[in-house]
Amino acid sequence: MEKEQKLFDLFLTSYNQQITELANNREYLNAGDITKALELILNCKGKLVVTGMGKSGLIGQKMAATFSSTGTPAFFLHPGESLHGDLGCLQSNDIMLVIAKSGESEEVTSMLRVVQKMQIPIIAILGNADSTAGSLADVIINARVAQEADPLNLAPTASTTVALVIGDALAAALIGMRGFNSEHFALFHPAGQLGKRLLLKVDDLLQLDQGIPMLSVQASIPELLAAENGPNLGGVMIVDERGQLIGIVTDGDLR
């Protein structure tokens, strides 16, 4: 039990540090910057291009997926690959969202200088607002943390948590701004449970090409057996003299 508690305490130290850093980051958030970022994305006629290097890039990939699934068309662009031709995917009506802790990564800053020349607006979620990336951005959302949540204070932990929450909060705010509803969400998630509940109809399940046998209530048992043994969906519908359904005899009923 002593070992268990010791390991749990190590876990809680990191867990609680991330909660603390997330709570402390609130004081660095500016309503004007958040509003400007949201309006830029909402009014974007192209796509939201999310980018970041290393662990920030992995957070960016998740952000792009969240934006796309909630009504904001987005994709992820790798900063390194962008410098070797992938900048060609950008269009003048796009917006870039960059995530960075130091804001001094060579790949990121080199890319942003070109994006700036292309006159594409840049929104930056930065751990260091007074960085090169910050000087190139049109809007800065401060994602500063005082300390990472690992014992060495080196691994991107608290900083990526704060950046991810900011991205999710932007996407959530845009849901309300767009009037995005559950039907829209289901359309983008047809394989999920919500999509199946809202989009799947009865006739999607019916295999009409196999036919649905119908017999009069006056039909004989041999006729019923013949219908059950032919191609069907597991049963025969029984109708009255007006053709109205009065019951179903399944294959299991007979066998």
What separation in angstroms does the CA of 105 have from each of 54, 79, 101, 166?
A: 10, 10, 9, 21
pLDDT of residue 78: 98
CA distance 4 to 191: 40
User: Which pLDDT score, from 0 to 100, does residue 230 have?
Assistant: 75
- Give the C-alpha separation, 54 to 57, whole Å: 5
Along the 255 residues of the chain, how does pLDDT read in single tens digits?
899 999 999 999 999 999 999 999 999 999 999 999 999 999 999 999 999 999 999 999 999 999 998 889 999 999 999 999 999 999 999 999 999 999 999 999 999 999 999 999 999 999 999 999 999 999 999 999 999 999 999 999 999 999 999 999 999 999 988 887 777 666 666 666 666 666 566 666 665 555 678 888 888 888 888 887 776 667 888 899 888 989 888 877 777
Write down the pLDDT at residue 255: 72
| 85 phi-psi bin (left φ>0, alpha ψ -120 to 50, beta other) | left
The pLDDT, as a whole number, for residue 7 is: 96
| Beta carbons of 108 and 79 less than 8 angstroms apart | yes
What is the C-alpha separation between 85 and 111, in angstroms, rounded?
11
Q: E-assigned strands of the chain?
A: 48-52, 74-77, 95-100, 122-126, 139-142, 214-216, 235-239, 245-250
Of the candidates 22, 101, 97, 111, the one whose C-alpha atom is nearest the C-alpha of residue 60 is 97
Token pair belonging to 65: 């997926």
What does the pLDDT read at residue 120?
A: 98
Instruction: Return the pLDDT at 251.
Output: 77
pLDDT at 213: 82
pLDDT at res. 184:
61
The model's pTM? 0.76
Give residue 249's identity as a one-letter amino acid code. V
